[in-house]
Amino acid sequence: MDYYYWFFFLFSILFSNLVTSSDDKVPTGPIINVTKHISFQEFNSNNPRLKQDVTLLGSAIISDEKTSVQIPDPEQQGDLKHLAGRAIYSSPVRLFDPVSQTSASFETTFSFQFEAKSNSSNETSDLGKSVGGSGLTFIIVPDELTVGRSGPWLGMLNDVCDDDYNTVAIEFDTRENPEFGDPNDNHLGINLGSIVSTAAINASDVGVQLNDGSIHRVWISYDGKKRFIDIRLAPDGRGYPSKSVYSSSLDLSPYLNEYMFVGFSAATGNHTQIHNILSWNFTSISQASLRIPSAETCQNKIRLQNNRQAEIAHRKTPNSFFIFLAVVILLIIVLINLYFSSYKRDENSNETIILPEKKQRPMPPNKARRFTIAEISSATRNFSELQILGSDEKSITYKATMLNGCNVVVKRFLTQFFNTHGFEKRQFHKEIKAISKIRHPNLAPIRGWCYDNQETIVVYDYIPNGSLDKWLFGVGVLPWTRRFKVVKALAESLLHLHSKQLAHKNVKSSSVFLDVSFRAVVGDFGFVLTSSGSTRFESMVSQTADVFEFGVVVLEIVAGRGRKSNRPGERDLLDLAWAMHEVQQKETLVDRRMGAVVNLDQAIRVLDIGLLCTLNENKGRPTMEEVVELLNMEKPIPELPSGRPVCLFPYNSTTGLCSGYACTAFK
Ligand SMILES: *[C@@H]1O[C@H](CO)[C@@H](O)[C@H](O)[C@H]1NC(C)=O
Ligand SMILES: *[C@@H]1O[C@H](CO)[C@@H](O)[C@H](O)[C@H]1NC(C)=O
Ligand SMILES: CC(=O)N[C@H]1CO[C@H](CO)[C@@H](O)[C@@H]1O
């Protein structure tokens, strides 16, 4: 795999050659300053320029009464929850100079006010709690067409934006979203291409309560050459504060295109408030090299036109020569590497321990390997309690940082677990190795393992946005389109495992993770069944149990609630879903927090597929392959029986619920 590095290396040489050779021909004139001033003393729709200059997106309006931009629009039909809007200056601003690779310097000041507004009758008694969401951002974005999502996304990003959606935002956040790393419900944050802030500032520390209803003023200045940001915040009318709330080195250039749009975004979630922007000034200076047609360039151009063929041939020769040379060298390197790596593999096949001397050469990034207990121990700071992410009856999971800076999850199985369940460790280790060879975009890669007489440890990739259960039953509301994608991703990843004669054996919503772009990644494999010794069971048996558990997770995804009710007297989800199916009221199960944007037919169809998966194995439970076909609409859904099928051994001793694994194991 080392030849990738060579490949990269050679191509960078080749590429820089191409770039410099063409750069030589672009004459650059003197350096000039490109400046831009934007100034709004107030926002008033009687100002005819305003309509041209400000683009309002989503739920945003100009309020003549307050002479402000308001997000969301308070006159909005329906309630004010889960709304997002943007107000963007309509013309792009030059914020990055590609020639010198420096970002522009800019200064901006604006005044804002958050007005408490509750819209739901049952919350009026609870006004203090229901107001206060979600916050405002000053935003720099690549286009003037997109609105981010509501709630904790602050209208800044949405969960489908990929990594090349460049954004910079300074957020004024009045909700605490721990899954986004928020420190409290009154903070500023600097967000670079991500909703998770790279720096957060506690506004209470400087005596400011963002949503106290008063008018605040902010000054942000950024020096593109020195790469330095300074933010100040004060009550409006008090003048420029002598102290900044945040000042630090910061390089914005990776997040800026040459031309960007500037403006504001804001959003509400379960909690509502009106975000007013009352005035705004913005100035930017970027450096550019003036492109003046000189006598030389004109001559070149004429020569080029007259003698195009010859010129092209002349220019091409050195380049094609370099390409040829690079290809030849590459081929040789590839062949040598292939030869050596196959040779090494043969040599290693009988060895179980990878010698530590090999560490100075970087390992191929995606191949699982054996870790030493010392490596794991230092990565988890000696299994520090502070690093614990969670635990269950089998294991404790830690967040860990490897020497190369990668964040990983370390799952340490408990010795008692093996002793009391009589698992054969060897079988277990075999299973870990088998699963670690599987690659699928929706399966969390296993980085490696570590075991000796005492320890059995598995190392996974750390997935930044946390597990699905937090998103389904927690503060945020995942939209239906995203939930449907999660269902499909989960189905496809299980099908892939099953097609390799493996099974997940621990399917539940806390084993599904969401990555930075909210794609579902399935991890936390069970490796063994919890209910009984696993070696007796064929992989087939665990696969049908996977299908059952998949069905329950699907119900959780549609209903937005956990399988087990935490309110006494309430039915567990599976019971409830079958009962609703019996009385033909399945739509009542669909999570109403998703609002009106749900594709109800699709949601019911998915619900049916979920129910189908919870049928007894010999009574029509589909395989994962059939599930994927059903999800892709390649087949009609078989008719469901009218009543809930009886689970032969309904109770799992730990959850108190019918579980696919329990059913299968005790049959
Ligand atoms: C461009 O702006 C910088 C910083 O404001 C200033 O020092 C420089 O003199 C300006 N250059 C020109 C050509 O105006
Ligand atoms: C924010 O600042 C306030 C006042 O200084 C303090 O009471 C609070 O604990 C701080 N919150 C955090 C999360 O640091
Ligand atoms: C309690 C309350 O004020 N509810 C209102 C929420 O907003 C909608 C639309 O403006 C009104 O119809 C409700 O009466």
Q: Give the CATH number for residue 57.
A: 2.60.120.200
Taking 50 as the threshold, does the pLDDT of residue 400 lie above it?
Answer: yes
Inside any domain, residue 305: no
Q: Are 375 and 493 in the same domain?
A: no
Q: What percent of the chain has pLDDT over 70?
A: 76
Name the band, by pLDDT with cuts 50, 70 and 90, for residue 229: very high
Look at 59-68, 229-238, 314-323, 629-638 and tell me which has the smallest mean pLDDT: 314-323
Instruction: Inform me whether the pLDDT recorded for 531 exceeds 50.
Output: no
How far is ligand 2, taken at its centre, from the CA of residue 467, in Å?
28
Would you state the pLDDT for residue 425?
76
**Together in a domain, 438 and 488:** no
The pLDDT tens digits for 344-387 are 444 444 433 333 333 333 444 457 888 889 889 999 988 888 88
- Asked if the model's pLDDT at residue 260 lies above 50, the reply is yes
Q: Could you tell me if the CB of 75 is within 6 A of ligand 3?
A: no
Domain boundary among 435, 462, 489: 462
pLDDT attached to residue 648: 45
Tens-digit pLDDT profile for residues 192-214: 888 888 889 999 988 899 988 89
Ligand 3 touching residue 79 (CB < 6 A): yes
Domain match, 454 and 570 both: no
Mean pLDDT for 484-500 is 93
pTM of the full predicted structure? 0.48
The Å distance, Cα 291 to ligand 1 centre, comes to 17
55 φ/ψ angles, rounded to the nearest 5 degrees: -100, 125
Asked whether the beta carbons of 460 and 523 are under 8 A apart, the reply is: yes
246 band by pLDDT with thresholds 50, 70 and 90? very high
Instruction: CATH number of the domain at 536, please.
Output: 1.10.510.10
pLDDT band at 548 (very low <50, low <70, confident <90, very high): very high
- Roughly what angle, to the nearest 10 degrees, separates helices 600-613 and 624-631? 170
Give residue-wise pLDDT tens across range 403-452.
877 888 999 988 777 776 666 777 788 888 888 888 888 998 888 888 87
Q: What is the pLDDT of residue 487?
A: 95
Distance, CA 10 to ligand 2 centroid (Å)? 52
CB 416 near ligand 3, within 6 Å: no
Contact 161, 482 (CB under 8 A): no
Q: Which of 255, 271, 289 is the last residue of a domain?
A: 289
- Which pLDDT score is estimated for 300? 56
Average pLDDT, the chain: 80
Same domain, 240 and 139: yes
Whether omega before 499 lies within 30 degrees of 0, making that bond cis, reads no
Say if residue 469 is in the same domain as residue 453: no
Instruction: Answer for the pair 615, 547: CB distance below 8 angstroms, yes or no.
Output: no
- Summarised one tens digit per residue, pLDDT across range 557-570 is 999 988 887 777 77
CA of 72 to the centre of ligand 3 (A): 14
Q: Which residues contact 384 (CB under 8 A, 6 or more apart)?
A: 398
Asked, for residue 320, whether it belongs to a domain, the answer is no
Q: What is the DSSP string of 318-382?
A: HHHHHHHHHHHHHHHHHHHHHHHHHHHHHHHTT--SPPGGGGGSPPPTT--EEPPHHHHHHHTTT
Question: From CA 120, how far away is CA 110, in angstroms rounded?
Answer: 31
Comparison of pLDDT for 639 and 218, the residue scoring more: 218
Is 285 a pocket residue for ligand 1 (Cβ < 6 Å)?
A: yes
- Asked if the structure places residue 319 within a domain, the reply is no
Query: In this structure, is residue 312 part of a structural domain?
Result: no
Both 650 and 579 in one domain: the answer is: yes
pLDDT at 297: 53
| Residues 214 and 74 both lie in one domain | yes
Q: What is the pLDDT confidence band of residue 108, given thresholds at 50, 70 and 90? A: very high
Residue 506 lies in a domain: yes
Structural domain count, the chain: 3
Distance (Å) from CA 33 to ligand 1 centroid = 6
Give the residue, 549 or 475, on which the prediction is more confident: 549
How many angstroms separate the CA atoms of 198 and 180, rounded? 11
pLDDT for residue 163: 54
> Which atom of ligand 1 is least distant from the CA of 31?
13
Counted residue by residue, the chain has a size of 667
CATH number at residue 420: 3.30.200.20
**Ligand 1 center–CA 226 separation, angstroms:** 14
Q: Whose CA is nearest to atom 9 of ligand 1?
A: 33
Q: With DSSP H G I counted as helix, E B as strand and the rest as coil, what are the percentages for the chain, rounded to 5? A: 35, 25, 40
Q: In the predicted model, is pLDDT for residue 589 greater than 60?
A: yes
| Domain coverage including residue 470 | 465-667
C-alpha span between 263 and 456 (Å, rounded): 52
Q: What percent of the chain has pLDDT over 90?
A: 33
Quick one: how far is CA 420 from the chain centroid? 39
Q: Which whole number is the average pLDDT over 253-262? A: 92
Average pLDDT of span 177-184: 79
| Average pLDDT rounded to a whole number, residues 637-663 | 59
The answer to whether residues 422 and 539 belong to one domain is no
Pocket test for ligand 3, best of 76, 119, 271 (most atoms within 8 A of CB): 119
Higher pLDDT, 427 or 506: 506
**CA 205–ligand 2 middle distance (angstroms):** 6
Q: What is the pLDDT of residue 319?
A: 58
For residues 506 and 406, membership in a common domain is answered with: no
Domain end residue (candidates: 462, 486, 513): 462
Reported as a single tens digit per residue, the pLDDT across 301-335 is 555 555 554 444 455 455 566 667 777 877 887 77
Ligand found nearest the CA of 284: 1
Same domain as 533, residue 404: no
Q: Does any domain span residue 8?
A: no
Mean per-residue pLDDT for 517-546?
Answer: 72
In a domain, 534, yes or no: yes
What average pLDDT does range 20-48 have in this prediction? 76
In a domain, 539, yes or no: yes
Distance separating alpha carbons of residues 479 and 594, to the nearest angstrom: 6
Comparing 358 with 236, the larger pLDDT belongs to 236
Q: Which pLDDT belongs to residue 654? A: 44
As a whole number of angstroms, the distance between CA 171 and CA 194 comes to: 11
Residue 600 reports pLDDT greater than 80? yes
Same structural domain, 443 and 553:
no
For residues 162 and 604, the model is more confident at 604
- Is 122 touching ligand 3 by the criterion CB < 6 Å? no
Please enumerate in sequence order all residues whose Cβ is within 8 A of that of 75, keeping only pairs 6 or more positions apart, or say none: 61
Based on the fold, state whether residues 258 and 381 are members of the same structural domain: no
Which parts of 510-637 are beta strand (E)?
Answer: 512-514, 520-522
